[in-house]
Amino acid sequence: MDMIAYVLKRIGVSIMTLLLVAAITFFLMNAIPGSPFMTEKSTPEQIALANAKYGLDKPLIVQFGNYIKNYLHGDMGVSLKMQEGTSVSKILFSQGKFTLSIKLGLLALLVAVLIGVPVGVLQAYYRGGWLDNFLRVLTTLGIAMPSFVVATLMLFGFAVSMKILPVQSNSLTTPAAYVMPVITLALSPFCRIAKLTRTSMLDSISQDYIRTARAKGLKTKIILFKHALRNSLIPVITYLGPLTAGIITGALVVEQIFHIPGLGDYFVSSILNRDYPVIMGTTMLLAALIIFMNLIVDIAYKIVDPRINIIKKGN
Amino acid sequence: MEGKKVFQVFHTNTDQILDLNQFSDEDFSSASADEKKSMVQMHKSVSYWQDAWRRFRGNPVSMGGLIVFLIILLFSFVGPLFVEYSYEDQYRSAQKLAPMQYSEMEQNVMTLLASGVDGVYATSLKSGSLTAIKKGSWYITSGGKTYAFTLEKTVEKATLVLDADADVPVYIGKDKDFENGAFTEITPVETTDTPAGDAQELELSTKVFPHVFGTDSQGRDLMARCMYGSRVSIIIGVVAALIVLIIGALYGAISGFAGGRVDFVMMRIVDLIYSIPDVLIVLLLQVVLKAPLQNWFDTSKFPLVKALSTLGVGIVSIFITFALLYWVGMARIIRGQVLQLKEQEYVTAATVLGASSSRIIRRHLLPNCVGQLIIQTCLQIPSAIFLESFLSYLGLGVSAPMASLGSLCSDAKETFLLFPYRLLFPAVLLSLIVLSLNLVGDGLRDALDPRLKS
């Protein structure tokens, strides 16, 4: 019963947050001075006409209300500039942008988790050894390198010098095109996950139940993977929320560098082009992804670790 | 072990025991200062900071980070004193040079200097208003002598040479006439010992400074730009971290100290801001703030605003972004600390003595969080530098002629395949700064808050 109440509460908060993001984005966007229809040639009359056509002449509150109302009906408006007249939902979903970004993001997420956790376990297992030290330096470096640096270095190394990978990934048609964008996106989360796993593994290893398991005469491998790992994965699960946000942020840069026509790339240019409905649509979609991931993580957290009493207020 | 021995001695040789009772006079002399000292069991009291520093010093990785960071600080803040080039000047003859390469003109000047001349003034190696020697009276001082001369017309694209041993000590050669290590045509300049009343001094160069990192397409020295860029990046990081520190610490302390309903509401606000996907909003903020800030800077007459306007719109909007969105992590941590601390006896004592809430927060609670405050601030700096470089890379942060490490990387990305080193230098610097600060932050955490040590 507690669980259902908690889930409902979390869903409520998530919807509130999304609404807040919508409001912030909407009012910020409209605070950009000038009009999206302003070009060198346009006259004030033309701008006024265009404003009236898209309903931009109404008070902001009314515009926002209309937007939310239409959004709930699945209508995200039409693009004002970048693809004039095309509906935003079509731009986001039917032109392959969303699929492209999701494919890339999920792959990076998988790589980060599937390699990060074993590496962290390995480090904890060989704690203090040369492998642990080497990997620790590597993961610390990985966190300190901005993704655009990683991307350009790889471009130079693999694509230009060695010519084994394509310079532009474009629509990710070949498997080789995936390699560099995915590595770039996954590197920093991978390092963080490895560090996190190492720390929490070491933490669990010093617990009493591990000593008990040892006293029972279990094999080290079984203790490590069956007893210690399960509990050390909890911090990793909580990290999945920020991780999603990080991957989306990374995608903004990575898609630009590798010329991938995905959502991240489109989002940046929509802001620079001041195409209001596209900005709104993209922000809402990306924000919804992040918020949804946080929701899932919070619920999974509760299921995985019953010790955590989420109903209790405060810390 | 010892006891066992005595026991055996006691039994086997009782005479030795009796010997123990025979004392000499020396045994009764007073102890010397050294002997007294060896008996003192008390240790010198170690303050919190000394203890922390001792722990920090014992951590080689963090010490390494600190040393690297100090070197970068020296490079970026003291280094410009030793580099002759400025970050914004475009040197006409020195475009697109590779690291340690000299432009053709610089090579000419080097040949001249190697041939034994005492000094040169090469107009094409100067920037801005210095690209010519204007007509009028000038004088040069070299080796205790003064050479004064008057130019009938302004000299451009030429090199003025001082060679004290030659028949004609001062002469001007056109840059295009330089062949095989000498000017084919030179114009001698008549000199006197006493400069005219309105004569200006002309500073000659006696050596050519290398472009250690090369130059960019506009002929700007990359090392000077990197020094300047890392200065800007570090300052942005520190200021942003301080903003976060002030807002976050105050908010967290007030929330934790007030408790109850106030705490609940304040923390829900924090939760809400925390759950907003920050980067999406940050990008928008950067665009939104640009015009109003520019307008504010242009019209306002307050000295503070004037000072801010020299920073440029991009940097100030980064600060505003931090003030709006990034203080929540700090607020949460400080609130947690304050919740524990406010139950301590000294807080009760202060309350009983009639101290106001603000005094308790300022004098008792925040000073006791100082470890956490320092750790969090130190870790905030690299993340601010990171965000700034990210924004600048997308073309939204610092704008030209100003430079930050991010914008230098961004400038280099177009020509990356041709000139990879232009990206390499700022990128390596950026990574080193972030890495070293992270290591220092980790070390500080272990040193200042040993309970958290993992």
> Residue A246's closest chain B neighbor by CA?
B279
Give the orientation angle of helix A147-154 with respect to helix A175-205, to 10 degrees: 130
Whole-number Å distance between alpha carbons of B426 and B408: 6
Q: Bridge partners of B172?
A: B160, B187
B232 located within any domain: yes
Q: Compute the half-sphere exposure of residue A186: CA atoms within 13 Å on the CB side of its CA.
A: 22
Do A89 and A105 sit in the same domain of this protein?
no
Do B150 and B280 sit in the same domain of this protein?
no
The answer, yes or no, to whether residue A214 has pLDDT greater than 70, is: yes
Do A247 and A111 sit in the same domain of this protein?
yes
Whole-number Å distance between alpha carbons of B416 and A256: 14
**Cβ contact A160–B417 (<8 Å):** yes
Residues of A in contact with B434 (CB under 8 A): 143-146
User: Dihedral through CA A127, CA A128, CA A133, CA A139, nearest 10?
Assistant: 40
Q: What is the rounded end-to-end Cα distance, in angstroms, of chain A?
A: 21
Please choose, from the candidates B208, B203, B202, the residue with its C-alpha nearest in 3D space to the C-alpha of residue B221: B208
**Cβ contact B288–A31 (<8 Å):** yes
**Cβ contact B389–A294 (<8 Å):** no
Any CB–CB contact under 8 A between B292 and chain A?
yes
Contact between residue B177 and residue B183 where contact means Cβ atoms under 8 Å apart: yes
Contact between residue A184 and residue A254 where contact means Cβ atoms under 8 Å apart: yes
| Over residues A201-230, mean pLDDT | 85
Comparing CB atoms, the residue among B276, B287, B409 nearest residue A149 is B409
**Cβ contact A155–B283 (<8 Å):** no
Contact between residue A253 and residue A151 where contact means Cβ atoms under 8 Å apart: yes
Number of domains in chain A: 2
CA distance to partner chain A, nearest, from residue B350 (Å): 26
The backbone torsions φ and ψ at residue A212, rounded to the nearest 5 degrees and listed phi first, read -60, -45
> Residue A124's closest chain B neighbor by CA?
B454
**What is the model's pLDDT at position B3?**
45
Whole-number Å distance between alpha carbons of A270 and A155: 26
| SS3 assignment, position A78 | strand
**Cβ contact A203–B454 (<8 Å):** yes
Contact between residue A88 and residue A259 where contact means Cβ atoms under 8 Å apart: no
Domain boundary among B154, B171, B201: B201
CATH code: domain of residue B279 = 1.10.3720.10
B44 located within any domain: no
B59 located within any domain: no
Q: What is the pLDDT of residues A256-274, one digit of tens each?
A: 888 888 888 888 888 877 7
Q: Which of B280, B340, B424 is most worth mutating to test chain A (most A CB atoms within 10 A of its CB)? A: B280
Q: Bridge partners of B228?
A: none
B311 located within any domain: yes
The CB density around residue B119, as the number of other CB atoms within 10 Å, is 21
**Cβ contact A25–B284 (<8 Å):** yes
Q: What burial letters (b/e) apply to B23-50, b meaning 16+ CB within 10 Å?
A: eeeeeeeeeeeeeeeeeeeeeeeeeeee
Comparing CB atoms, the residue among A29, A140, A144 nearest residue B284 is A29
Do A102 and A222 sit in the same domain of this protein?
yes
B211 exposed, middle or buried (CB, 10 Å; 0-12, 13-18, 19+)?
buried
Q: Compute the half-sphere exposure of residue A314: CA atoms within 13 Å on the CB side of its CA.
A: 11
- Beta-strand runs (E) in A120-259: none
Residues of B in contact with A252 (CB under 8 A): 279, 283, 394
Q: What is the pLDDT of residues A13-57, one digit of tens each?
A: 888 888 888 888 888 887 776 666 666 666 777 777 777 777 777
Any CB–CB contact under 8 A between B265 and chain A?
no
Q: What is the pTM of this model?
A: 0.80
What's CA B332's distance to the chain center, in Å?
Answer: 29
Most confident of A129-138, A183-192, B23-32: A183-192
Which residue in this structure is represented by tokens 């802001």?
A: A271
| SS3 assignment, position A80 | coil
Any CB–CB contact under 8 A between B285 and chain A?
yes
**Cβ contact A146–B288 (<8 Å):** no
Contact between residue B429 and residue B72 where contact means Cβ atoms under 8 Å apart: yes
| SS3 assignment, position A87 | strand
Whole-number Å distance between alpha carbons of B175 and B160: 10
Q: Compute the half-sphere exposure of residue A69: CA atoms within 13 Å on the CB side of its CA.
A: 6
A162 located within any domain: yes
The answer, yes or no, to whether residue A313 has pLDDT greater than 50, is: no
Expressed in percent and rounded to 5, the helix, strand and coil fractions of chain A are 75, 0, 25
- Look over chain A and give the mean of its residue pLDDT values, rounded to a whole number: 82
Number of domains in chain B: 2
| Residue B139 structural domain | 104-201
The answer to ipTM > 0.85 is: no
- Look over chain B and give the mean of its residue pLDDT values, rounded to a whole number: 80
B94 located within any domain: no
Tally C-beta pairs within 8 A across A and B: 124
Do A31 and A178 sit in the same domain of this protein?
no
**Cβ contact A148–B413 (<8 Å):** yes
Whole-number Å distance between alpha carbons of A205 and A189: 24
Q: Bridge partners of B137?
A: B150
Handedness of CA B306, B309, B311, B317 (dihedral sign): positive
**What is the model's pLDDT at position A58?**
77
Comparing CB atoms, the residue among B280, B394, B413 nearest residue A152 is B413
Quote the radius of gyration of chain B (alpha carbons, Å).
Answer: 34
Whole-number Å distance between alpha carbons of A126 and A129: 5
Do A150 and A240 sit in the same domain of this protein?
yes
Any CB–CB contact under 8 A between B64 and chain A?
no
CATH code: domain of residue A207 = 1.10.3720.10
Residues of B in contact with A267 (CB under 8 A): 280, 283
CA distance to partner chain A, nearest, from residue B262 (Å): 12
Q: Which residues, at least 6 apart from A309, have a Cβ–Cβ distance to it below 8 Å?
A: none
Do A58 and A166 sit in the same domain of this protein?
no
| SS3 assignment, position A203 | helix
Whole-number Å distance between alpha carbons of B237 and B247: 16
Do B193 and B259 sit in the same domain of this protein?
no
**Cβ contact B336–A248 (<8 Å):** no
Write out residues 75-134 of B within 8 Å (CB-CB) of A: none
A266 located within any domain: no
Q: Which residues, at least 6 apart from B437, have a Cβ–Cβ distance to it below 8 Å?
A: B65, B69, B237, B378, B379, B381, B382, B385
Q: What is the rounded end-to-end Cα distance, in angstroms, of chain B?
A: 39
Do B317 and B446 sit in the same domain of this protein?
yes
According to DSSP, residue A216 is labeled T
Do B196 and B296 sit in the same domain of this protein?
no
Do B252 and B156 sit in the same domain of this protein?
no
| Residue A297 structural domain | 1-94+276-315
Q: What is the pLDDT of residues B417-445, one digit of tens each?
A: 778 788 888 888 998 999 999 888 888 88
Domain boundary among A216, A232, A261: A261
Whole-number Å distance between alpha carbons of A99 and B305: 47
Q: How do beta strands B182-183 and B158-162 pair? A: unpaired
Write out residues 398-437 of B within 8 Å (CB-CB) of A: 406, 409, 413, 416-417, 420, 423, 427, 430-432, 434-435
Give the orientation angle of helix B328-341 with respect to helix B222-258, to 10 degrees: 40
**Cβ contact B277–A290 (<8 Å):** yes
CA distance to partner chain A, nearest, from residue B110 (Å): 34
Do B354 and B296 sit in the same domain of this protein?
yes
**Cβ contact B284–A287 (<8 Å):** no
Do B435 and B373 sit in the same domain of this protein?
yes
Do B167 and B285 sit in the same domain of this protein?
no
Please choose, from the candidates B372, B383, B376, B374, the residue with its C-alpha nearest in 3D space to the C-alpha of residue B433: B383
Do A118 and A257 sit in the same domain of this protein?
yes
- The secondary structure of chain B, three-state, reads CHHHHHHHHHHHCHHHHHHCCCCCHHHHCCCCHHHHHHHCCCCCCCCHHHHHHHHHHCCHHHHHHHHHHHHHHHHHHHHHHCCCCCCCCCCCCCCCCCCCECCHHHHHHHHHHHCCCCEEEEHHHCCHHHCEECCEEEEEEECCEEEEEEECCCEECEEEEECCCCCCCEEEEEHHHEECCEECCEEECCCECCCCCCCEECCCECCCCCECCCECCCCCEHHHHHHHHHHHHHHHHHHHHHHHHHHHHHHHHHHHHHCHHHHHHHHHHHHHHHHCCHHHHHHHHHHHHHHHHHHHHHHCCCHHHHHHHHHCHHHHHHHHHHHHHCCHHHHHHHHHHHHHHCCCHHHHHHHHCCCCHHHHHHHHHHHHCHHHHHHHHHHHHHHHHHHHHHHHHCCCCCCCCCCCHHHHHHHHHCCCCCCHHHHHHHHHHHHHHHHHHHHHHHHHHHHHCHHHCC
Positions of chain B with pLDDT lower than 50, given as ranges: 1-4, 6, 9, 453-454
A271 located within any domain: no
The backbone torsions φ and ψ at residue B318, rounded to the nearest 5 degrees and listed phi first, read -65, -40
Whole-number Å distance between alpha carbons of B338 and B249: 10
Least confident among A141-155, A192-206, A277-291, B306-320: B306-320
Do B183 and B260 sit in the same domain of this protein?
no
Please choose, from the candidates A104, A253, A159, the residue with its C-alpha nearest in 3D space to the C-alpha of residue B416: A159
The backbone torsions φ and ψ at residue B147, rounded to the nearest 5 degrees and listed phi first, read -120, 110
A139 exposed, middle or buried (CB, 10 Å; 0-12, 13-18, 19+)?
buried
Do B290 and B143 sit in the same domain of this protein?
no
**What is the model's pLDDT at position A38?**
64
